[in-house]
């Protein structure tokens, strides 16, 4: 079976990390996977997939090419590198165009995948995409119920959870977090607030930094660590400097060993303006972290461990929560964590996805 994954990039991000989690666990003797990504520059995952025998094909975005030229180039790319049994699209409102090209190329299984609950586009473009999907997608997937209804406008989809390698997060030693604190020059007594996400408007870093700044005045032991890259990172660094909180905020870029990073945190925060089903929130709970989360984010990712506080996006309320934070209490019952995360188990979800590809 030959599968083509179509994404925005192969760097750290929600959809990209989910695709890579499945890629690492799928039986490559059964399923050969290639990638189309958009824009220039190599993503952090590219060397890994190429070393496993996969192709990575770079194309310009539809925004640069226009509708007809984009579809034509995609069609030729699929023909020249195929034949493919499956085209699996993860590109939001471009998915209709991707699957139109796949249908023109004779690909039998054409999959749309919703990863979000809100889309930075007009209602007209969203409806055009839905119309294209109606005629060109023969399978519709979503990371959760809310993300599916937001993207497709109905219940005609299958939920495939954003799975994680649960055992990897449960097996990491607690000492790895202490070692990272030493590496970054952070006291073992400091209270570390952690955020993981791309520096884009959706993730709401400006709100996070302003709320944190208010709290630091009352609790200088607070530290904020932001993991990720993105176009707004320089702007956020300037904001930190303007608020004179450079000694309390750490921007550490992309990081490969996320289980150890979570061990360093005392609390995980997610003040996003919108999310699909955030993989980072599942990872944080599996790591036993208390989580402060914007109340607009779906509770589908709540593992039932009583670790999540849903909070309105009000700067004063968030800063009050930050000021009252204490050191985390370790959860020693690893079996309880593993059982709670069962529906996100990568092996089970991978088997489910493979059955969808085969059907």
CA-nearest of 168, 162, 164, 175 to 334 is 168
Looking only at the bridges linking them, the beta strands covering 191-196 and 222-227 are parallel
pLDDT of res. 16 = 87
Task: Report the alpha-carbon distance of residue 10 to residue 119 in Å, rounded.
Answer: 20
The better pLDDT of the pair 42, 276 is held by: 276
pLDDT tops 90 at residue 11: no
Q: Which residue has 């450079």 as its token pair?
A: 246
CB 278 within 8 A of CB 116: no
Question: How would you class 123 by CB atoms within 10 Å of its CB: exposed for 0-12, middle for 13-18, buried for 19 or more?
Answer: exposed
pLDDT tops 70 at residue 73: yes
Q: What are 185-205's pLDDT values in tens digits?
A: 999 999 999 999 999 999 999
Mean pLDDT of the chain: 91
pLDDT of res. 333 = 72
pLDDT of res. 14 = 77
Average pLDDT (269-290) is: 92
Whole-structure pTM over 0.85, yes or no? no
pLDDT of res. 181 = 96
pLDDT tops 90 at residue 93: no
Q: Give the model's confidence band at 103: pLDDT under 50 very low, under 70 low, under 90 confident, else very high.
A: very high
CA of residue 166 relative to chain centroid, distance: 16
pLDDT of res. 319 = 94
CB 92 within 8 A of CB 116: yes
**DSSP β-bridge partners for residue 165:** none
Q: What are 43-65's pLDDT values in tens digits?
A: 788 999 999 999 999 999 888 89
**DSSP β-bridge partners for residue 309:** 292
pLDDT-wise least confident of 69-83, 88-102, 153-167: 153-167
Q: Give the model's confidence band at 116: pLDDT under 50 very low, under 70 low, under 90 confident, else very high.
A: confident
Q: What are 210-246's pLDDT values in tens digits?
A: 999 999 988 889 999 999 988 999 999 999 999 999 9
Task: Report the alpha-carbon distance of residue 173 to residue 20 in Å, rounded.
Answer: 24
Task: Report the alpha-carbon distance of residue 302 to residue 311 in Å, rounded.
Answer: 14
> What Cα–Cα distance (Å) separates residue 354 from each residue in 102, 109, 158?
19, 12, 13
Task: Report the alpha-carbon distance of residue 60 to residue 47 in Å, rounded.
Answer: 20
Average pLDDT (110-138) is: 88
What are the structural domains of the chain?
2-163+344-358 (3.40.50.2000), 166-340 (3.40.50.2000)
SS3 233: helix
pLDDT tops 80 at residue 39: no
pLDDT-wise least confident of 9-13, 73-77, 218-222, 318-322: 9-13
Alpha helix stretches (DSSP H) within the chain: 14-25, 46-51, 62-65, 67-81, 95-104, 123-136, 145-152, 166-171, 175-184, 205-216, 233-242, 258-264, 279-286, 315-323, 334-340, 346-358
Looking only at the bridges linking them, the beta strands covering 191-196 and 158-159 are unpaired
Q: Give the model's confidence band at 332: pLDDT under 50 very low, under 70 low, under 90 confident, else very high.
A: low
């Amino acid at each position: 079976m030959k599968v083509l994954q179509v994404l925005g990039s192969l760097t750290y991000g929600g959809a990209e990390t989910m695709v890579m989690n499945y890629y690492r666990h799928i039986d490559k003797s059964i399923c050969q996977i290639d990638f189309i990504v958009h824009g220039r520059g190599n993503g952090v995952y590219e060397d890994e997939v190429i070393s496993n025998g996969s192709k990575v094909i770079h194309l310009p975005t539809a925004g640069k090419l226009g509708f007809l030229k984009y579809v034509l180039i995609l069609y030729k790319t699929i023909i020249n590198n195929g034949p493919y049994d499956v085209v699996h699209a993860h590109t939001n409102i471009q998915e209709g165009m991707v699957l139109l090209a796949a249908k023109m190329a004779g690909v039998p299984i054409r999959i749309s995948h919703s990863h979000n609950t809100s889309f930075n586009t007009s209602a007209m473009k969203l409806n055009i995409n839905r119309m294209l999907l109606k005629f060109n997608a023969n399978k519709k997937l979503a990371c959760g119920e809310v993300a599916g209804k937001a993207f497709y406008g109905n219940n005609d989809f299958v939920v495939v959870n954003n799975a994680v390698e649960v055992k990897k997060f449960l097996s990491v030693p607690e000492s790895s977090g202490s070692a990272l604190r030493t590496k970054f020059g952070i006291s073992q007594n400091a209270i570390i607030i952690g955020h993981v996400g791309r520096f884009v408007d959706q993730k709401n870093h400006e709100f996070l930094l302003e709320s944190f700044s208010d709290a630091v005045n009352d609790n200088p032991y607070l530290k904020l660590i932001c993991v990720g890259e993105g176009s707004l990172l320089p702007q956020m660094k300037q904001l930190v400097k303007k608020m004179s909180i450079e000694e309390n905020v750490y921007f550490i870029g992309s990081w490969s060993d996320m289980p150890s990073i979570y061990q360093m945190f005392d609390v995980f925060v997610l003040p996003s303006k919108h999310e699909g089903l955030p993989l980072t929130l599942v990872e944080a709970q599996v790591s036993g972290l208390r989580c402060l989360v914007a109340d607009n984010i779906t509770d589908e990712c709540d593992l039932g461990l009583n670790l999540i506080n849903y909070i309105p996006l009000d700067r004063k309320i968030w800063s009050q929560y930050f000021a009252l934070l204490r050191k985390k209490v370790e959860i020693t019952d690893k079996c309880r964590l593993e059982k709670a995360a069962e529906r996100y188990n990568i092996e089970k979800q991978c088997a489910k996805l493979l059955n969808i590809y085969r059907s």
